[in-house]
Amino acid sequence: MKKLLSVAAILLSLSAYSGQQAVADNTPVKVESRVGNVAITDNSPADAIATYPTRGKAIARSFAEQPPLIPHKNSYSISTDKNGCLTCHSWDKAKRMKATPVAKSHVVDDKGTVNGMNYFCVQCHVAQADNKQELVKNTFTTK
Ligand code: HEC
Ligand code: HEC
């Protein structure tokens, strides 16, 4: 009996699905704004597109243990096979690229193999644009 009931239930639910697909309701959907029919009069200008210094020069740190800010663009891709940041900042390439090698705290051996926890650089380091716009008002001071 139980089995029969569950088979009936499955059949019922199946027919319910097919029924739903078959119904073609052409009545237009009435979408209405909650504020009523108000014309848009205020167009805010688009935010300025960030421009980054082409030649990065280290930015002074504001507090101890701060992840230094990135003084250049940060659109280098980071994937499991390739880390765009390490093409300049890895221990073996940094000198040639005139970039600071990743911190000692980021590596697991004396060859400069980056620790997994430090692999996704932009999780901690943020780029600073020249035309910086405040997204959120900030009153932070170091004093
Ligand atoms: C084309 C080479 C190149 C690439 C790629 C690159 N950087 Fe840089 N980076 C530099 C140079 C050059 C500087 C300026 C010298 C310095 O301070 O290291 C710099 C500076 C920095 C600094 C400041 C270091 C300090 O001591 O203040 C950070 C942080 C940094 N980069 C992070 C990154 C991250 C994160 C990425 C990937 C999104 C990245 N960089 C990709 C060349 C590069
Ligand atoms: C978990 C947060 C975190 C991640 C992820 C991270 N860093 Fe850092 N980084 C820091 C902090 C904090 C410092 C400063 C303290 C220190 O030197 O350990 C720093 C310092 C640095 C410095 C300056 C080193 C020096 O000698 O002055 C460079 C360059 C740097 N990081 C690059 C990178 C790159 C490239 C990556 C990605 C491969 C990366 N970091 C990932 C937090 C992080």
| Per-residue pLDDT, 59 | 92
Q: Which pLDDT tens digit goes with each residue over 89-105?
A: 999 999 999 999 999 99
Q: Which SS3 state, helix, strand or coil, does residue 127 take? A: strand
Pocket flag, ligand 1, residue 100 (CB < 6 Å): yes
In the chain, alpha helices (H): 2-22, 86-89, 94-97
Pocket flag, ligand 2, residue 93 (CB < 6 Å): no
Contact (Cβ atoms closer than 8 angstroms) between residue 80 and residue 96: no
Contact (Cβ atoms closer than 8 angstroms) between residue 100 and residue 121: no
Contact (Cβ atoms closer than 8 angstroms) between residue 102 and residue 114: yes
Determine the atom of ligand 1 nearest the C-alpha atom of 57. 14
For the entire predicted model, the pTM comes to 0.78
Pocket flag, ligand 1, residue 56 (CB < 6 Å): yes
Question: What proportion of the chain, given as a percentage, has pLDDT over 90?
Answer: 50
| Per-residue pLDDT, 126 | 94
Determine the atom of ligand 2 nearest the C-alpha atom of 101. 29
In the CATH hierarchy, which top-level class contains the domain 50-131?
mainly alpha
